[in-house]
Structure 1
Amino acid sequence: MERSDNKHSVITVAICFLIAVIEGLDIQAAGIAAAGIREAFGLDSSQLGVFFSAGILGLLPGALIGGRYSDRIGRKKVLIWSVAVFALFTLCTVWVNSFNSLLLVRFLAGAGLGAAMPNLITLASEAVKPENRGRAVGLMYCGMPVGAAILSYIASLDFGSDWKNIFYLGGLLPIIVLPIMIKFLPESREFLKAQNTTQTTTATTQGSFKDLFNSQNLMRTCLISVSYFFTLMVVYIMLSWLPSLFMELGFSRKEGSTAQFFFMMSATVGTIVLGMLTDRWKKAYVIILMYGGILAGLFCLNAASSLTQMYLASALVGAFVIGCQGVLYAFGSIVYPTEVRATGVGMASAVGRVGAMLGPTIAGQLLAAGFGAAGVISAAIPCIVISAVFMLILVRRLQTSA
């Protein structure tokens, strides 16, 4: 029985890891293809910020719908449909011929990816014992920076010189993964158990949005959602604008891409380590470590004066910014019970996506207004402080109610 459980866990986390790799490819795709898209469509910095935000905006309704239906019809079904939608509209990106149609297909691709994320988190967390959920989500979500690092490397080759190739790759890979998901991905046993309980007792165990705001979950939902909002705002500023910020500071495009590669490679390690610490340490210590690390990285980016210092600062920011996002997803799976877990994670993710959408747009406006890279980095610091405070309050409330 234990061997069967281990096999179930390994297969689930491995397939979810593959989907997270594809998410990383897509997140990085916008930044890498930005120069080619700017030239092809004649965009300025402000319009480029809107382009970055279009896909992120799609993540918002996607996360809400994906999480909600996951608690109704199953994690596996919703994940398969989500990946299929994402693949279709990512391929459509290369065939559009106007700025508005470009924004539309990026929005719809983002919706597919947004619907996938609550299911990835929920499947990974429910595939293991409760005491191992942080590790499982960390191992799954480290696929995101791995995918982004892979695309950063590909972009340095001749293949990456044409922006359309980036989206061909991003659309075809999920199509290849779909049959693997259909054949090998197991449904969550916790979901099946909850569903069987529903059928046996004729009670409604499937959660709804209103359950997130009952007396037990209201403060949890508010606290984790605000933290998601400000953390993802900073995450997506870094993901979308880091190479451009390097160029604003006087470095070359190639050096900016190299910084992004260091950012993503360290993010892979940070996501795994912080996920493991979430299971082993007191939660408050993990919160203090990861937000303290982000602040240290942002200060180092502002203060660095040489290329080596910039690379080190990028690695420091990457380890904690992306690792922090993985920990927040793990917290979402810990905060909510099975019957509303995907709905709760979807809600928090959707609120976070509002921050993620606003972040690159605000950064673009700051750059267009002449504040420069230092102004963008400084604007991110208060967001991190607010996120840390709200997460510490949430941890304290969880401990009190335990």
Structure 2
Amino acid sequence: MTTHDLAPRTQRITNNRAFRIVLILCWVAIFFDGIDTFMYGSTIPSMTADPGFHMTAAHAGNIGSLATFGMLLGALAIGVVADTIGRRWSIILCSAIFSISSAGCALAAGAGSFGIWRTIAGFGLGGLLPTAIAMVSEFAPDRVRNFSVGAVMTAHQAGGIVAPLLCLYLLPTLGWRSIYWVGVLPLIALVPLILTLLPESPTFLVARGRMDKARALAERFDLVVPLEKSTIKNRGGNFGENLAKLFRGRNAVVTLLFWLGSFGGLLLVYGMSTWLPSLMESLGFDLGNSLVLLCLINAGGIVGTLVAGKVSDTWGPVRVSMLWFLLTAVGVCAMGIKSTMVVTYILVFVTGVFLFSAQIMIYAAVSHVFPTESRATALGLTTGMGRFGAVFGPWMGGQLFALGLEKWGFVAFGAFGITSGVMLLLIHLVLRRHGGKTQEATEADNVVIRAG
């Protein structure tokens, strides 16, 4: 019997029923992730105006950075956690962490305790995203894999639309604390559904030698039964082995460029998500209109994510991400020019089309570029290293406001769109010899399993 390390991509271990279940549940999980992420920026003006809460603009920037530092820790740790307990239980754990922490935020007596709870919430939020993306990528049919990653990430922007709408409805009557009670819903409504319906990753079960559970899962969802671990040569290893693969030969350059691109992208995403309402207020817009603009930029994000996913199935996610970042930089810088309300609405929406999907396509690009056995590790580390940018972005915005330089905020954030676009251009140039993928991923595409 002769075998190779990976099944060809034409032989997927999935079917439409299993894929739909994974896609829907991961979408809902990321939807609540998006609400929790965007609710903070939407509530900053109310919290800083609360005389008993003692939060300044500098405090708000620091707390935003602490939350994204928690996301950094979660994204870095989730690869090891998922390799130990599986992707299904990792999604459950992350959802429970940010739900419980949201209750802690609602009960916080001051900015200090609030910051602690936001940091803990960030750990769960940071671990959920790469795990859900890896899960969807594994179960998605090849022809729509990039589109599926984009589709599931529309949930994040949907949450970004709902968060400011909740603020518009709840803040005037119930105050900012009521918004954080909404964040408890995943623990009550989502976690039981995941426990009941979400399948575990077949690849994880095979890698752990749990073939009985893998066969039972295959029978339940009508999947192709994965190969037994003993018949797979050099299938994915532990975290250390997979990390070493990311720095083998030319992969090291690609890995570092992805990290730098993700740094700039997440700095831009989290900096704008945290400070957009306040930046628009600094241009003369009232809070209501500023929250509407936050809705519009996320609505543009939904359109852009679907478009980027579809286009990347033809052009490739690396090239799409590169172009989207450069267009984002133009849009963000233009937002800093005071204009009429109608023009501003259109500009913010169009900028949202490119802003969020540019970063999402980095994740799709990592899934495209690296082979299956190292994909989860590559995604986790790319997201994790990018979180340094997510930490820096809110802090940078707070410092600009504290120094009275908030009118330069749009240019400062837009500059990082240019740097991320350049990083993706360099990745494209490095990988063009192998069809836009690492050599291992290209070889895996050509593998033919022969058993007998």
Partner of 2:426: 393
Partner of 1:155: 167
1:382 aligns with 2:420: no
Partner of 1:121: 133
Q: Deviations over 1:307-327 (max 9, x none)?
A: 112111211221111111221
Alignment equivalent of 2:100, drawn from 71, 88, 104: 88
Partner of 1:28: 38
Residue range with higher mean Cα deviation, 358-367 or 214-223? 214-223
Partner of 1:200: 230
How do residues 1-400 of structure 1 correspond to structure 2 at under 5 angstroms? 5-38=15-48, 39=50, 40-158=52-170, 161-196=174-209, 199-200=229-230, 205-208=236-239, 209-215=243-249, 217-283=251-317, 285-373=319-407, 375-400=408-433
Secondary structure of 1:224's counterpart equals: helix
Give the 3 Å change call, closer, same or farther, for CA 114–285 of structure 1 in structure 2: closer
Give the 3 Å change call, closer, same or farther, for CA 54–64 of structure 1 in structure 2: same
Residue range with higher mean Cα deviation, 212-221 or 345-354? 212-221
Residue range with higher mean Cα deviation, 249-258 or 68-77? 68-77
Residue range with higher mean Cα deviation, 189-198 or 99-108? 189-198
Residue range with higher mean Cα deviation, 385-394 or 156-165? 156-165
Structure 1: unaligned runs, 5 residues or longer: none
Letter in 2 for 1:312: I
Identity %, equivalent residues: 28
Aligned partners of 1:132 and 1:279 also within 8 Å: yes
Residue range with higher mean Cα deviation, 31-40 or 146-155? 31-40
Secondary structure of 2:336's counterpart equals: helix
Shift of 1:105: 1.0
Q: Matches of 2:82 and 2:147 in 1, distance apart?
A: 22
Shift of 1:304: 4.1
Letter in 1 for 2:425: L
Letter in 2 for 1:262: L
Letter in 2 for 1:31: G
Instruction: Give the total of aligned pairs.
Output: 401
Aligned partners of 1:207 and 1:339 also within 8 Å: no
RMSD: 2.2
Shift of 1:163: 1.2
Secondary structure of 2:396's counterpart equals: helix
- Please report the TM-score for the alignment, with normalisation by the length of structure 2: 0.84
Structure 2: unaligned runs, 5 residues or longer: 1-10, 210-226, 436-452
Shift of 1:335: 2.4
Shift of 1:238: 1.0
Letter in 2 for 1:241: W
Shift of 1:247: 0.6
Instruction: Specify the structure having the higher radius of gyration (Cα).
Output: 2
Q: Matches of 2:179 and 2:412 in 1, distance apart?
A: 31
Letter in 1 for 2:184: G
Secondary structure of 1:250's counterpart equals: coil
Letter in 1 for 2:394: P
Aligned partners of 1:123 and 1:188 also within 8 Å: yes
Aligned partners of 2:318 and 2:361 also within 8 Å: no
Q: Deviations over 1:240-294 (max 9, x none)?
A: 0111011100111111011111111111111111011111224454134312320
Q: Deviations over 1:64-101 (max 9, x none)?
A: 11122223432112111111111111111122223322
Q: Matches of 1:212 and 1:95 in 2, distance apart?
A: 43
Shift of 1:199: 3.9
- Please report the TM-score for the alignment, with normalisation by the length of structure 1: 0.93
- Greater helix share, structure number: 1
